[in-house]
Amino acid sequence: MQSLKTTLLAAIVCTFAGCSDVDDDYFPYKMTGLNSWLYDPATEQEYLAGFTAASYKNRDSALRACAAQASTAAVARGLDEWSYVCCTVTEESQCVTKVR
């Protein structure tokens, strides 16, 4: 009974105080994937390199896939210098947070 009271109290506090929807590394708990964005500093252009379907549970392998997509896109565009960012995707947004 005590744990039920604690759970209900936590739910009430989260509702009114606003619990975070992301973890300490800025991954949303309701993540559905990652968008890989490639940046070309010479032209100051950004390109969508691809989407990786993923959940919060497999975020580490999704990050590796996101980096690989950016690398493949950089080679395809013949870029010598480039950077990338992975945007976390949820049902509500195509870029909740940027992670690497």
The predicted model gives 63-78 an average pLDDT of 97
pLDDT digits (tens, 9 = 90+) for 3-27: 434 333 333 334 333 444 865 667 8
Residue with the larger pLDDT of the pair 65 and 2: 65
Q: Label each residue of the chain as H, E or C.
A: CHHHHHHHHHHHHHHHHCCCCECCCCCECCCCEEEEEEEECCCCEEEEEEEEECCHHHHHHHHHHHHHHHHHHHHHCCCCCCEEEEEEECCCCCCCCEEC
Q: Summarize pLDDT for 79-90 with one digit per residue, the tens.
A: 999 999 999 999
